[in-house]
Amino acid sequence: MRLTSRCLSLLLSLCAAVSLSAAASAKPPLVLAAASLQESLNAAADAWAAKHHERPVLSFAASSALAKQIDAGAPADLFISADEPWMDDIQKNGFVAPGTRVSFLGNTLVLAAPAASKGDIAIRPGFPLAKVLGDGKLAMADPDSVPAGKYGKAALTALGVWPSVQARVVRGDSVRAALAFVERGEAPYGIVYGTDALSSKAVRIAGVFPSSSHVPITYPIARLAGSTNRDAEAFRLFLISAQGRAIFRHYGFLPHTPQAL
Amino acid sequence: MLLSPDEWQIVGLSLKVSGVAVALTLPVAFGLAYLLARGKFPGKILLDALVYLPLVLPPVVTGWLLLIGFGLRGPIGSRVHDWFGLTLIFRWTGAALAAGIMALPLMVRAMRLSIEAVDRRIEGAARTLGASDWRVFWTITVPLALPGILAGIVLGFARSIGEFGATITFVSNIPGETQTLPIAIYAALQVPGSDAIVTRLALISVVLSLGALIVSELLARRAGVGRGGHVL
C-alpha cells in the first residue's frame, strides 16, 4: 500500500515536471502530412531546423486518416494532402485558414516490383496485369479512401483492367503499407508513387502509369484555421519556396510553381 | 438489424475466422493450461511468460513476427506453402492464425484457473476406487473444469472477433478474405459519409463482445473459480 502511494506521488511529480517544461518552451508546429512525404518532409524539417528554427513535429499517415482527424478537431498547424479532394473535405468543413491553400508538388504513379524481380511492363490500355500477377496479389493503398489507392483505381479503370484485378487487391492503410508488402516480396507488384519506389532499395519500378490515365497527382498544403503557432506560417512559406521545393525535387517529386487556390 | 450483403459478409467472415481460430487453439490452450496447472518442470516460468506474451506484446509486433515467419518468404510460411499448399499471408487462414495466437493467453488463463480449482482429493478417491488416470481425467478433471474451459472458449472467441493489430499487419485488408469487423470499421472510418456503416458495424461488435463477456462470467461463476468467479 505504501509502495503504491509512493509510486503514485512519484508519477504525479513526474507529470507535473513534464507539463511545466512543456509550458516553458513554445511548442513547435505540428504538421500532418501524407505518408508518401516521409523522407522528403523530414529532410525539409531538418533544413528548416538548421536555420535555427524549432524543428516542426511531423505526423505521417494516409491523407484520408489525417483529414478525418482534422475533421474531428485535431489541434494541428499544417496539413499536406496527397490529393485535392481530402483538402476540399476539410476546407468545406471550415478547417483551412483562408488564403493559405497552395498546391506545390506533383508525383507519378508507378507499378513497383521487388528489386530482385525482372521484366518491365508496358502499362497501356488492356495490359495483362492479372496474368503477370500469377497467383500473387496486387498491393495498393485502400482504393476507397487513400489518395494513392484512388489514383491507382482510377488509372486501372481508365486502362480497362480494374475488373480483372479488383479481387486480387491487398488494401494497405497507406501507400507505405502497400510499398512494404512489395519490399518483402509478399506481393509481386504494387501501385505506389514514383517517389515511394525511389525511396526504397528493395523495390524497382516495373512500369510507369501514363499521366493521362488518372487526374494529375497534386499535393496541396494549407495552414489550419485553428492554428495559433507562430512558426507554422513561416514553415509553410519555407516549404513552398524555391529552396523548399528543391528539397522535394531531390526526392523525385515534381514541384509546381505554387498556385494559390 | 438490417445489414447490406457486404456487411453480412464482414460479419460472416469474422465469425468464420474466430470460430476456426478458437477451434484450432483449443487443444493447444488446454494442453498448456493443464501443464501449467499441474506440471512441475524446469523452465515453467519461461513457458508461463511465453504463453501470456501475446497479451502484453504490442499486437503490431506479433503481426510483424507472423509476417516475417509465416509470409511466403518466411522460413515457416514458405515450407507450409510447399508441403501443404497452404497460404497464410493475405488469406483468411492467416487471419485465423493471428486471432488464435492473440486468443491463446486468455483461453489458457481461464482453463488453468479452473483446472487448479479441481479438488485433487476427488481425483485421488477415484484412483483408490480403481479408476485409471485416463478415466480420472475424462470423468473427474474435465467435467469439473468444464465451466472454465467453456469460459476460455467464449473469451477467446471474443478476443478473436476484436483482433486488429496483428491481423492488419500480417494479412492486410482484403474485402471478403481478411476484412474482419474491426478492419472493416477502420477502413470505413476513412471513407466520407460512412458514419451509418461504422455505427452498424460498431454496434454488432459491442453486442458480440458484451454477450461473450456475460456468458464467460456466468460460466466462471458456475465453476466457482476464485472469489466471485472472475476469470479476467
ipTM summary value? 0.77
Cα gap A256→A254, rounded to integer Å: 7
According to CATH, the topology of domain A28-106+217-260 is D-Maltodextrin-Binding Protein; domain 2 (3.40.190)
pLDDT above 90: residue A10: no
| Residue that the C-alpha cell 495552414 belongs to | A223
pLDDT for A181: 95
Inter-chain residue contact A184 with B71, CB threshold 8 Å: yes
The set of cell numbers assigned to A237 is 512559406
Strand ranges of the sheet holding A102-106, from the earlier edge strand across to the other edge:
A57-61, A30-34, A78-80, A218-223, A102-106, A254-260
- Judged by DSSP in three states, B99 sits in helix
Residues from chain B that touch A62, judged by Cβ atoms under 8 A, are 190
CB contact under 8 A, B173 and A171: yes
**What's the confidence (pLDDT) of residue B228?**
44
A109-213 fold: D-Maltodextrin-Binding Protein; domain 2 (3.40.190)
Q: What is the C-alpha to C-alpha distance for residues B106 and B1, in angstroms, rounded to an integer?
A: 30
Contact B173 A172 (CB under 8 A): yes
Between the two ends of chain A, the Cα-to-Cα distance in Å is 62
Q: Which residue of A has its CA nearest to B183?
A: A173
Cross-chain Cβ contact B190/A142 below 8 Å: yes
B172/A145 Cβ within 8 A: no
Element spanning A208, H or E:
strand A203-208
Q: What is the CATH number of the domain that holds B16?
A: 1.10.3720.10
Q: Which residues, 6+ apart, have CB-to-CB distance to B12 below 8 Å?
A: none
Is the CB of residue B98 less than 8 Å from the CB of residue B63?
A: yes
Strand, helix or coil at A29? coil
| Residue for grid cell 466457482 | B224
What 3-state class would DSSP assign to A177?
helix
Instruction: Centre a 10 Å sphere on the Cβ of residue A97 and count the other Cβ atoms it contains.
Output: 18
Per mean pLDDT, which range of A5-9, A14-18, A198-202, B123-127 is the poorest? Answer: A14-18
Is B46 domain-assigned?
yes
Selected for mutation to probe chain A from B64, B78, B92, B172 (highest A CB count within 10 Å) is B172
Residue boundaries of the structural domains of chain A? 28-106+217-260, 109-213
d(CA B74, CA B80): 10
The C-alpha cell of A77 is what? 498547424
**What is the predicted pLDDT for the residue at A16?**
53
CA distance B67 to B97: 11
Do A142 and B173 count as a contact with CB atoms less than 8 A apart? yes
A74 three-class SS: coil
A81-109 average pLDDT score:
96
Say how far apart CA A102 and CA A91 lie, in whole Å: 12
The distance of Cα B226 from the centroid of its chain, to the nearest Å, equals: 22
The contacts of residue B44 (CB under 8 Å, 6+ apart) are B36
> In angstroms, what separates the C-alpha of A250 from chain B's closest C-alpha?
31
| Per-residue model confidence as pLDDT tens digits over A110-154 | 999 999 999 999 999 999 999 999 999 999 999 999 999 999 999
Residues from chain B contacting residue A173 (CB–CB below 8 Å):
168, 173, 186-187, 190
Residues A91 and A196: beta-carbon distance below 8 Å: no
> Which ranges of chain B have pLDDT less than 50?
226-232
> What is the pLDDT, as a whole number, of residue A24?
39
In chain B, what are the helix, strand and coil shares in percent, each to the nearest 5?
75, 0, 25
Most B CBs within 10 Å: which of A170, A175, A182, A183, as the mutation test of the B interface? A170
Question: Is residue A26 predicted with pLDDT exceeding 90?
Answer: no
pLDDT score, position B208: 87
Cα dist. A237→A37, A220, A231, B172 in Å?
17, 13, 10, 38
**Which of A200, A208, A186 has the alpha carbon at shortest distance from A254?**
A208
Chain A residue numbers touching B72 (CB-CB < 8 A)? 185-186
Give the pLDDT mean for A194-201.
Answer: 96
B-chain CB neighbours of A176 within 8 Å are: none
CA angle A67-A68-A73, nearest 5°? 95
Do A188 and A174 form a contact (C-beta atoms < 8 A)? no
| Chain A residues touching B191 at Cβ < 8 A | 64, 144-145
Determine the angle formed by the axes of helices B5-38 and B44-56, rounding to 10 degrees. 160
What pTM did the predictor assign? 0.83
Question: Across the interface, which of B73, B173, B190 has its CB nearest the CB of A184?
Answer: B73
A97: nearest Cα among A219, A222, A220, A221: A222
How is residue A110 written as a grid cell? 508507378
pLDDT at B195: 85
Residue B231 resides in a domain: no
The pLDDT of A235-260, averaged and rounded, is: 90
Domain assignment present for residue B229? The answer is no
Number of domains into which chain B is organized: 1
Pairing relationship of beta strands A30-34 and A78-80 according to DSSP bridges: parallel
Residue type, A153: K
Q: How many CB pairs under 8 A join A and B?
A: 56
| A34: nearest Cα among A238, A175, A215 | A175
Neighbouring C-alpha atoms within 13 Å toward the C-beta of A196: 29
Torsion on CA atoms B187, B191, B196, B199, rounded to nearest 10: 30
Residues spanned by the domain of B25: 5-223
Optimal mutation site among A138, A145, A168, interface B, most CBs of chain B within 10 A: A145
Residue B61, domain member (yes or no)? yes
User: Strand order of the sheet with strand A138-141?
Assistant: A169-172, A138-141, A189-193, A109-114, A203-208
Reduced to 3 states (helix: H, G, I; strand: E, B; else coil), residue A113 is strand
Crossing angle of helices B142-162 and B5-38, in 10° steps, is 140
Rounded Cα–Cα distance for residues B182 and B202 (Å): 8
